Amino acid sequence: MVGHDKTGARDKFLKFLATKNLRITSQRQAIVDSVFSTEEHFTAEQLLEWARSRDKSVSRATVYRTLPLLVESKMVHEMDFGKDYKFYDPNYSDHPNHHHIICQDCEKIVEFESEKIDKIENEISHKLGFSVASQKLQITGNCEELKKMGACKNHPCSTHGH
């Protein structure tokens, strides 16, 4: 369910497009609706799939042209986890100072916030003569599901048998 924050982020992005004199085409509308109706992190290919389920005419090129605009508007955050592709965080405008744990087996991404980490970052920054403008923490590990169960519903190889 899309809350007021997501609707606000969506509206801010549409206004951002207007400032760039970019039209809101039906393809772009499907992309924007897909982005702002999810809490999940996504790749460009996942976004293409979601947008095409709303409008079959959505092209890969339009998705790849729209993603940098979403990032530039600060409504979505691009994340590099050392893969051949980027992930995008649609929760960035609501909570810009959250952190991520990423499973290197199944690519599950979990967001978290920590007052302790924020306090340490502020203490270190202050001690070194800086004020925090932005920060990010990415922890890479392995989720326990694959280790405990021998399979993980999120692991790419686990879906081939279904």
Q: Check which CATH number belongs to the domain holding 108 and give it.
A: 3.30.1490.190
Residue 93: predicted pLDDT: 56
Residue 160: predicted pLDDT: 38
Are 85 and 103 in a shared domain? Answer: no
Task: Assess if residue 146 is contained within a domain.
Answer: yes
Are 155 and 105 in a shared domain? Answer: yes
Report the relative pairing of strands 77-79 and 87-89 from DSSP bridges: antiparallel
At a CB cut-off of 8 Å and minimum separation 6, what does 33 contact?
10, 51, 54
Q: How many other CB atoms are found less than 10 A from the CB of residue 100?
A: 19
**Cα gap 87→42, rounded to integer Å:** 5
Residue 45: predicted pLDDT: 95
Residue 56: predicted pLDDT: 96
Q: How many other CB atoms are found less than 10 A from the CB of residue 124?
A: 11
Residue 161: predicted pLDDT: 37
Per-residue pLDDT tens digits of the chain, which is 162 residues long: 344 456 788 888 989 999 999 988 999 999 999 999 988 889 999 999 999 999 999 999 999 999 999 999 988 888 887 788 898 988 765 566 677 787 877 777 777 778 888 888 888 989 999 987 777 777 788 887 766 777 666 655 544 333
Q: How many other CB atoms are found less than 10 A from the CB of residue 38?
A: 17
Are 11 and 83 in a shared domain? Answer: yes
Domain boundary among 37, 65, 89: 89
